[in-house]
Amino acid sequence: MLMQISASTIVINGQSFEYKAQGNVLMINEGTATTPYPYMLDGNQLYIEFPDGTELAFTRSTESAQPEGQLPMSMSKPSSGAGQGQQGSALSGKWLFQNQQGQLVLEFISANQLTFNGETTQYQLKEGVIQAMGEYGWIDYPYTLNQGTLTITFPDGTMLPFTRASSTATTQQSMNQQGMNQQGGGSTWQLRGALCNWSGSSGSESSYSSTRKLIFDGQGNYQFGREGSFSGDAGLAYSGDPNVEIGTYSVGENSVTLYNQAGQTYQFIIKIRENNGMITCIEYEGALYSNSLCE
């Protein structure tokens, strides 16, 4: 989502409307009504709360303005250049991060595609930054490559060191995972793919929606993120939370337990388990996460 702000005008995705700032509230003129939007400015982060309680985070851009007539970067194909090719060749292959809670697998498949925990996405390289395509735009992951260690900084500030996986290590990893599942020590294969929780509201002049998404790789690793959208007289806007949470998970008989990198633990109740053993719906504190809500 692209937003530009001047002294009296806000431009969202090419649509402009007038506003006035009153304390910590933006009074936005939507054409037929003026609506209050509480906000908070924290450094280069601007947080705006919508009438239904949805909060979207905006990051101040330091890049030059987008030339008129061109698509924003989040809608165009990744650029390719000689520098990117040289950096890409140094990163190509499979990388592993492992601790006592499990492991994360990152693989650079080609010059513009990678997989992380079983999820495939586009990427492009800038100087010292891996830009991965999220649901609604690029997300920056600063990195360093030093003596065979790839250290990546995630949007929440977490720094994880990945080491290049040898073919022997990859084979052993697969054998260990299969053995654990066969022995009944792990049932993480029963939970794979995305489960979502959706909330929203709509009125005569505008509508809002918020989606929380959990992505499981079937091998004990997960990602968690938030997405939001708003539509009204001013146009259509999207926002993806850059603070993606990562961690590991385990599957029990009646519950799924998540362990994030900050050491927090969340226990979900299994609501639907298919005849083939696959879990398609879980619940946490009354909120349902289902694969059908991701569509």
Regarding whether 19 and 108 lie in a shared domain, the answer is no
Regarding whether 288 and 210 lie in a shared domain, the answer is yes
Regarding whether 290 and 200 lie in a shared domain, the answer is yes
Residue range 185-215, pLDDT digits in tens? 468 889 999 999 987 666 566 666 778 889 9
Regarding whether 224 and 283 lie in a shared domain, the answer is yes
- Check if the beta carbon of residue 266 is closer than 8 Å to that of residue 250: no
- Distance, in Å, from the CA atom of 46 to the CA atom of 36, rounded to the nearest integer, reads 16
Residue 181 falls inside a structural domain = no
Regarding whether 191 and 276 lie in a shared domain, the answer is yes
- Check if the beta carbon of residue 101 is closer than 8 Å to that of residue 248: yes
Residue range 153-169, pLDDT digits in tens? 888 788 889 998 764 44
Regarding whether 30 and 103 lie in a shared domain, the answer is no
Q: What CATH number does residue 256 fall under?
A: 2.40.128
Mean pLDDT value across the chain = 74
Residue 174 falls inside a structural domain = no
Residue 173: pLDDT band with limits 50, 70, 90: very low
- 99-103 mean pLDDT: 64
Does residue 285 or residue 262 have the better pLDDT? 285
Our count of domains for the chain comes to 3
Cα separation values, 254 from 136, 187, 257, Å:
34, 12, 10
Of 111, 134, 165, at which residue does a domain stop? 165
Residue 70 falls inside a structural domain = no
- Both tokens assigned to 149: 């260690």
DSSP assigned state of 171: H
Residue 68's Cβ-count burial label (10 Å; 0-12, 13-18, 19+) is: exposed
Range of the structural domain that residue 197 is part of = 187-294
Regarding whether 232 and 198 lie in a shared domain, the answer is yes
- Check if the beta carbon of residue 172 is closer than 8 Å to that of residue 180: no
In this predicted structure, what is the pLDDT of residue 15?
Answer: 64
Q: Looking at beta carbons, which pairs linking 225-230 to residues 24 or more positions away fall under 8 Å?
A: 225/134, 225/135, 227/135, 227/136, 228/50, 228/54, 228/55, 228/56, 230/50, 230/54, 230/56, 230/206
In this predicted structure, what is the pLDDT of residue 70?
Answer: 32
